[in-house]
Amino acid sequence: MRILALFLLCLWLQSCNTNQKSETKDSETTLVRGELSMDSQIFLGNRLFSEKTCITCHDAQKSTIGPSVKEIMKVYKKENGNIVAFLKGEAEPIVEASAAQIAMMQVNIKGFLKNISDEELGAIATYMLHVDELNK
């Protein structure tokens, strides 16, 4: 069912084929999972970021309850961090935050994040990596 939904999403975007061809030389090709083009992943990740309520604590540009996506990505790019591993509870937090904030995010990881598939977490991570391109 999920595969079908993703397939329809691709069809709807009508960009899978053309994008995949032009991306084969791109060093980011390794980020493309399954049949989804980079654009489709960013699109899906953006949607999941709202649907899964990440957006309530993480604004793209401004730090609110949690650090902004921009701030998180600055640290993850510099430290070569793995967002999917963090979201699965397999990696320590690396963004500067208070103990209360760290505890808050850990509650998410032990709770509702368990219901998000690896593919979806991958799409969320790809969206976060490209957030600046979307907000220009």
Question: Rounded CA gap, 100 and 78, in Å?
Answer: 24
Burial class, 120, CB count within 10 angstroms (exposed 0-12 / middle 13-18 / buried 19+) = buried
* Lookup: tokens for 32: 């493309």
Between 15 and 108, name the residue whose CB sits nearer to ligand HEC. Answer: 108
* Lookup: tokens for 124: 């969320």
108-127 positions binding ligand HEC, by CB under 6 A: 108, 113, 124
| Candidate residues 54, 123, 129, 131; the one interacting with ligand HEC per rule CB under 6 A | 54
| Candidate residues 10, 44, 95, 123; the one interacting with ligand HEC per rule CB under 6 A | 95
The least CB distance from residue 71 to ligand HEC, in Å, is: 9
- Coil, strand or helix at 15: coil
Question: Rounded CA gap, 69 and 45, in Å?
Answer: 13
Binding site for ligand HEC (CB under 6 A): 52-54, 56-58, 65-67, 72, 83, 86-87, 93-95, 97, 101-102, 104-105, 108, 113, 124
